[in-house]
Amino acid sequence: MPGAIRIAVIDYDAGNTLSVTRALEKVGARVDLTSDPDRVRSADAVVLPGVGAFGDCMKKLRERGMDLACREVFRSGKPFLGVCVALQVIFEGSEESPGAEGLGLLPGGVRRFKGGDLKVPHMGWNELRLVRDHPVLDGLDGEAFYFVHSFYPEPAEAGDLVGETEYGVRFCAAAGRENLIAVQFHPEKSSGAGLRLYENFLAWSRML
Q: Which residue of the set 70, 164, 186, 199 is catalytic?
A: 186
Region of residue 142 (left: phi > 0; alpha: psi -120 to 50; beta: else)? left
Helix axes 66-76, 54-63, angle to 10 degrees: 90
Residue 129 sits at the vertex; the CA angle it makes with 103 and 159, to the nearest 5 degrees, is: 45
Which residue among 57, 84, 149, 164 is the active-site one? 84
Instruction: In whole angstroms, give the CA distance from residue 112 to residue 151.
Output: 4
Distance, CA of 116 to CA of 168 (rounded, Å): 9
Q: Which of 143, 164, 188, 199 is catalytic?
A: 188
Plot region of 43 (φ>0 → left; ψ -120 to 50 → alpha; else → beta): beta
| 188 annotated active-site | yes
Q: Is 84 a catalytic residue?
A: yes
Q: Catalytic site residue 149?
A: no
Active site residues: 84, 186, 188
